[in-house]
Amino acid sequence: MRPRVALIYNEPVPGRYQNTGEEKAVLGVMDSVNAVKKALVELRYEVTIVPLELPVEQAYEKLNNLSTDIVFNLFEGFPGFPETETLIPKYLSNKGIVFTGCSSEALKLGLDKTKTKEILLKAGIPTPAFQILSPDNIAAFNLKYPCIVKPFAEDASHGLTEDSIVNDANGLTRQVNILSSNYGGQALVEEFVKGREFNATVLGNIEHIIFPVSEITFNLPPDKPEILTFDAKWEKNSIYYKNTPVVCPAKIDDTEKERISKIALAAFKAIIGRGYARVDMRLDNQNRVNVIEVNPNPDISPDTGAARQAKAAGLNYAQFIEKIIILAMEKGKV
């Protein structure tokens, strides 16, 4: 008999992202919810849909009253509070409820970009030089331009625009002020790695699967920096969305594929451990593979990188979703 599945997610509600014009990323969770539900029904699972919203005690009560064998976790944090993404898997774990994806510890690391980079460096995995800056300590800047300025603890490309690449002190000050004001008081500043950009999805507990590598190709006008902005992911009519197509599998030789996959797996083991994640990488001017992001529980809606890579690995969407269920059930037995 198929296990009963409770599909949980953060109910989209107005939040701080409306102030920055980025509410589409919050609403995007419904694409995943609808697609995963459809896949689970197709696979003949008994599915219950469980939206979660504040106050957190109300969300805990819903989870405590679940009658299910496994929770399919699509919860991304309560809107406007990305740090709350860790609360739900921690609660489920404490209750002994099996759930898909990454642990609360891995999700916490995914949001703490400083700690992530420290762990990567300790493991010998290249990642761009960085600093955490705010308007109060910007005079301590000691990196080399150009730099990219990112929110300190966000995902889904929140806060990334064509102005995120800075080449001088004025640009740096502007972006640090903007991000500190809109995203929690601090900004992550990294030396910008200009080379080819790749990503790979890794799944597993004890043993691991690495899906075929994707490459982000940049066909942008010369005056546009080659980065994946918020628009590149969410605004279908934008220059960035139209001119950053993904090639999967990437057009690379076997040696390069093995090298990139090896770094992706090493980053997964160092940061994630169990579950599934997408590792974003760039080649620097010495052709080294630099890890720029490790994304636990990445977006798995059908038109995203993880699903695209699963398809390149020979899995249709329903098979991909079932693979995530099977991994979670295995994890629950370990």
pLDDT tens sequence across 104-156: 999 999 888 889 999 999 999 999 999 999 999 999 999 999 999 988 766 54
Q: Check residue 21 and give its pLDDT.
A: 46
CA-to-CA distance for 117 and 129, rounded, in angstroms? 9
Winning range, highest mean pLDDT, from 6-10, 77-81, 110-114:
6-10
Rounded Cα distance between 144 and 328, Å, is 43
Chain-centre distance of CA 167, in angstroms?
27
- Is the domain covering 109-125+194-213+248-333 a CATH 3.30.470.20 domain? yes
Type of residue found at 231: D
Report the distance separating Cα 155 and Cα 113, nearest Å.
10
pLDDT given for residue 154 in this prediction: 63
Q: Measure the CA–CA gap between 76 and 114, rounded to whole angstroms.
A: 20
At residue 159, does pLDDT exceed 80? Answer: no
**Span 4-99 CATH architecture:** 3-Layer(aba) Sandwich (3.40)
Phi, psi of 140 (to 5 degrees): -85, 0
How many residues make up the chain in this entry?
334
User: 27 with 92: CB under 8 angstroms?
Assistant: no
> Is 80 exceeded by the pLDDT of residue 244?
yes
Residues 217-221, mean pLDDT to the nearest whole number: 90
**How is the beta sheet containing 4-10 ordered, strand by strand?**
46-52, 4-10, 70-74
Helix (H) or strand (E) holding 247: strand 246-247
Question: Over the stretch 20-44, which tens digit does the pLDDT of each residue have?
Answer: 544 544 566 788 999 999 999 999 9
Query: For the chain, what are the domain ranges?
Result: 4-99, 109-125+194-213+248-333, 130-191
Q: Per the CATH hierarchy, to which homologous superfamily does domain 130-191 belong?
A: ATP-grasp fold, A domain (3.30.1490.20)
pLDDT tens per residue, range 171-212? 999 999 998 888 777 899 999 999 999 999 999 998 999 999
Question: What is the token pair recorded at 224?
Answer: 């546009």
- Planar angle of CA 254, 260, 263, nearest 5 degrees: 140
Q: Residue 107 in contact with residue 42, Cβ under 8 Å?
A: no
Q: Residues 199, 305: contact at Cβ < 8 Å?
A: yes
